[in-house]
Amino acid sequence: MKKATKGALALAAAGSLLVGGAGSLAYWTGTATVGGASISSGTITLSAPDCSTNVSAGTHGWQLDGGTAFTPGTDTIVPGDTLTKVCNTTLTMTGNHIGATLALGSASFAGPGGDANLEAALSGASATFKVDGAAYAPITNPGTYTVQVTVTVPFPSGVTADNTKSVSATLDDLTFTATQTHDPS
């Protein structure tokens, strides 16, 4: 018999012994149980903003250059003006190690009919925040916080192009976001 044939027969015999139970491939195991747990996640929520607290801003809540009430659709602005709106919201966070950062989304403008040049000029909206009356820093503990958001929409001056007079644009709603962070401290 050839060596290859002998090897194949030996392998077949060994396999049949293992399968047939005459030989064994054994190993031992031990087990232990780790108890399960009910796990719940925390939350982060913002209340609907209240922009009526700034009485001097009028019913729409917008101010012109930080002073007089500005009525959108009626009043007009010129380069160098800044529109502001102050709103209060409540931030509620639950969970161990929860924190949050605050941000204002980018300014966008409603559909057809708006002037692209004016929209571009007004696109630099920004926001500043106060948390429980103090200057904003990222929030690092669970709890309920009063957040004051001051939205600023500047109309820059000094632009050489004379293409933003006697036109209009409609600023969309601005989105204020609290983003959850992990704070192990």
Q: Stretch 104-117: mean pLDDT, rounded?
A: 82
CA distance to 3, 22, 24, per residue, from 10 (Å) = 11, 15, 16
First to last CA, the chain: 76
Cβ proximity of 88 and 52 under 8 Å: no
pLDDT of residue 165: 84
75 DSSP 8-state letter: S
pLDDT of residue 184: 84
Q: pLDDT averaged over the chain?
A: 85
pLDDT of residue 95: 96
Q: Which amino acid is at 159?
A: V
Cβ proximity of 181 and 100 under 8 Å: yes
State the Cα angle at 39 between 33 and 40, rounded to 5°: 180
More confident: 174 or 159: 174
Instruction: Name the β-bridge partners of 139.
Output: 100
Cβ proximity of 109 and 136 under 8 Å: no
Cβ proximity of 53 and 88 under 8 Å: yes
Position 2 confidence tier, pLDDT thresholds 50, 70, 90:
low
Q: Which of 86-90, 139-143, 159-163 has the lowest mean pLDDT?
A: 159-163
Nearest residue to 84 (alpha-carbon basis) of 125, 129, 41: 125
Q: Which helix (H) or strand (E) holds 12?
A: helix 3-20
Is residue 36 over pLDDT 80? yes
pLDDT of residue 101: 96
pLDDT of residue 8: 62
More confident: 166 or 58: 166
Is residue 49 over pLDDT 60? yes
Q: Which helix (H) or strand (E) holds 151?
A: strand 143-154
More confident: 10 or 102: 102
Most confidently modeled of 85-89, 99-103, 121-125? 99-103
